[in-house]
Amino acid sequence: MRLYYYIARKFWGPFFFALGIFTTLVVLGDIFEKLKNLSNGTTTVWDLLVYAACTFPNWLTTIVPVACLLGAISVISEMVSNGEWTACVAGGFAPKDLFKPIIACILLVVLVTMGVQEFIVPGLNLKADAIYYTRIKPSANFNPHVENDVVIKISPTQMLFAKQVDLKNGVMHQVSLDTYNDQNGEWNIATQVIAQEMSWNLTTRHWTFKNGILRTFLTDMDTTEESFVSQEAPFTIPPQKMAVSKAEDKLLSIRALSTKINFYGRSGLSHYAAETARQSKLATPFVTVIMCLLGMPFAISTRRKSKILNIIASLVIAFAFWWIMSMVTSMGQNGYLNPYLAGWGPVLLFSVAVFLEFKWLKL
C-alpha cells in the first residue's frame, strides 16, 4: 500500500507542471490575439485579464488528457531510469499493478474535470461572452439571455417564428405561429397567429399571445382575420424545456444537451449532433484513461530506447487517438454515423487495442 501511495504522489508534480505549461501557453496566445482590441477605446488590460480568467477553466479541461498522459509517462520513465521499476518487478509486483495508482489519480482528475465542465465552465463561458461583446468587441444588440431570429418546430405540424426569444424571462417578441394540416399528402397552412409578444403564464402554465391577429386559411384564396388583445397559445411546453441557444454543442453541459435533445425529439427535429456531443462527453472518462493506457507501456522500454523517443511515440499515439475521435465525432454530428457509435465506438476500438498491446508486451 505504501508503494501505491509513493507512485501516486510522484504523478502530481509532472501532471500539474504539464497542465500549467500547456494551459498558460494557450491562454496567453488567446490574450495576445485580442490585444489588438486595446485601441478600440473600450477595452482595458483588466478586461482582457478577466476574460482570460473566465476562459481559463475551459482551456484547463481541454488540456487535462494530455497532462494526464505526460504525467503518467513521467512517473514510469523516472521509475525505470532510477531502477525502481526493476526492483518492484523483482519484488513480485506485476507491471499492471504498478499502473493502478497512476490510473486512480487519472480517474480522480477526470471526475473533477467533468464536474468543472458540467457546473462551472458553462456559467463562466456566459460571463466571458458578456465581457467580449460589451468590452472587448462591443455589440449593441448583445444580450446573453436573448436569441434573435429564432425558428422553433413546436410539434410536427406547428412552426414558431420569433424575432427575439428570452427563455430566462419567459417572453418572445414579434412571433408567428403557423399550423399546418396534411391533406392527401400535401401540407397546407391552416391557421397563422401573428402577435407582438408571447409570454409564459406561471399561473395557467400556458403561453399567451398578446396584441395579435388570428388568420384562418379557408382556401388558397380565402382567409379570415380576427384581432385579439390576449389569447392562449395551443401548446404548453415550459420555457425551461425549450432549447433555442445557438451555442456550440461542445460548450453545453450534459444537462443542457439533454434538454435540447428532449425538446428536439418532442418537436420531431433531428438531434444527432447534440446526441453525439452528449455521448462524447459521457465517454470522456474512458477516453482519457484509455489514451493514457495506450502510451504508458512505451515508457517502460526506456531501458532499450531513448526516453524522448518513448515520449514522442506516446504523444503520437495520443494525438492519433484524438484525430480518430474527432473524425468519428464529426461523422456522428453530420448524421453519417449513429451518435452512440460515434461517442463510444472509439472507446471500444481502442480498448481492444490496449488489450492487445498489454498482451503483446506481456504486461
Alpha carbon separation from 286 to 20, 299, 345, 355 (Å, rounded): 23, 21, 12, 14
Question: What is the predicted pLDDT for the residue at 228?
Answer: 92
What is the rounded distance in angstroms from the CA atom of residue 337 to the CA atom of residue 275? 11
Supply angle C-alpha 281, 284, 289, rounded to 5: 175
Structural domain ending residue among the three candidates 101, 127, 144:
144
Question: How many other CB atoms sit within 10 Å of the CB of residue 197?
Answer: 17
Residues 125 and 161 in one domain: no
Closest CA to 16 of 55, 74, 78: 74
Look up the domain containing 197 and give its range.
147-242
- pLDDT band for position 90 (cuts 50, 70, 90): confident
Higher pLDDT, 200 or 79: 200
Residue 264 lies in a domain: no
- pLDDT band for position 65 (cuts 50, 70, 90): confident
Residues 221 and 281 in one domain: no
- DSSP H/E element including 153: strand 147-155
Question: What is the predicted pLDDT for the residue at 303?
Answer: 53
- pLDDT band for position 207 (cuts 50, 70, 90): very high
What is the rounded distance in angstroms from the CA atom of residue 172 to the CA atom of residue 7? 57
Structural domain ending residue among the three candidates 75, 110, 144:
144
* Helix %, strand %, coil % of the chain (to 5): 60, 20, 20
What is the rounded distance in angstroms from the CA atom of residue 115 to the CA atom of residue 123? 13
Question: What is the predicted pLDDT for the residue at 314?
Answer: 61
Structural domain ending residue among the three candidates 119, 144, 169:
144
Reported as a single tens digit per residue, the pLDDT across 149-174 is 888 888 888 889 999 999 888 999 99
Q: How many domains does the chain have?
A: 3
Residues 167 and 210 in one domain: yes
Query: Per-residue pLDDT for 108 more than 90?
Result: yes
Backbone angles phi, psi at 343, to 5 degrees: -80, -40
3-class SS letters over 282-314: HCHHHHHHHHHHHHHHHHHHHHCCCHHHHHHHH
Question: Does the model's pTM come out above 0.85?
Answer: no
CB 159 within 8 A of CB 177: yes
Residue 258 lies in a domain: no
Q: Which of 69-73, 182-186, 216-220, 310-314 has the lowest mean pLDDT?
A: 310-314
Cα atoms found within 13 Å of the Cα of residue 78, Cβ hemisphere only: 13
Residues 2 and 138 in one domain: yes
The helix/strand count (H/E) of the chain reads as: 10, 6
Bridge partners of 186, per DSSP, are 183
The whole-chain average pLDDT of the chain stands at: 84
Residues 140 and 186 in one domain: no
CB 134 within 8 A of CB 43: no
Question: How many other CB atoms sit within 10 Å of the CB of residue 331?
Answer: 17
Residues 281 and 160 in one domain: no
Residues 135 and 23 in one domain: yes
Cell of 82: 532510477
What is the rounded distance in angstroms from the CA atom of residue 256 to the CA atom of residue 118? 9
Residues 193 and 284 in one domain: no
- pLDDT band for position 143 (cuts 50, 70, 90): confident
Query: Per-residue pLDDT for 63 more than 80?
Result: yes
CB 315 within 8 A of CB 295: yes
Read off the pLDDT of each residue in 141-150 and give the average, rounded to a whole number: 82
Question: What is the predicted pLDDT for the residue at 302?
Answer: 53
Bridge partners of 296, per DSSP, are none
Question: What is the predicted pLDDT for the residue at 301?
Answer: 64
Q: Which of 92-96, 122-126, 349-353 has the lowest mean pLDDT?
A: 92-96
Read off the pLDDT of each residue in 233-253 and give the average, rounded to a whole number: 81
Q: What is the DSSP letter of 245?
A: -
What is the rounded distance in angstroms from the CA atom of residue 85 to the CA atom of residue 10? 13
Residues 282 and 214 in one domain: no
Question: What is the predicted pLDDT for the residue at 311?
Answer: 59
Supply angle C-alpha 328, 331, 333, rounded to 5: 110
- pLDDT band for position 307 (cuts 50, 70, 90): low
Residue 77 lies in a domain: yes
Question: What is the predicted pLDDT for the residue at 16?
Answer: 92
What is the rounded distance in angstroms from the CA atom of residue 148 to the CA atom of residue 172? 10
Greatest Cα-to-Cα distance within the chain, rounded to the nearest angstrom: 92
Residue 261 lies in a domain: no
Residue 208 lies in a domain: yes
Residues 22 and 100 in one domain: yes
Read off the pLDDT of each residue in 62-87 and give the average, rounded to a whole number: 85
Closest CA to 73 of 93, 92, 99, 94: 99
Read off the pLDDT of each residue in 231-245 and give the average, rounded to a whole number: 86
Q: Which of 49-63, 96-110, 266-280 has the lowest mean pLDDT?
A: 266-280
Please classify residue 321 by burial: count the beta carbons closer than 10 Å to its beta carbon, then call 0-12 exposed, 13-18 middle and 19+ buried. Answer: buried
Query: Per-residue pLDDT for 299 more than 60?
Result: yes
Residue 250 lies in a domain: no
Q: Which amino acid is at 75?
A: V
Q: Which of 28-42, 65-79, 293-307 has the lowest mean pLDDT?
A: 293-307
Residues 91 and 120 in one domain: yes
Query: Per-residue pLDDT for 96 more than 90?
Result: no
Query: Per-residue pLDDT for 128 more than 70?
Result: yes
Residue 230 lies in a domain: yes
Closest CA to 163 of 138, 200, 194, 206: 194
- DSSP H/E element including 84: helix 84-90
Residues 139 and 2 in one domain: yes
Residue 166 lies in a domain: yes
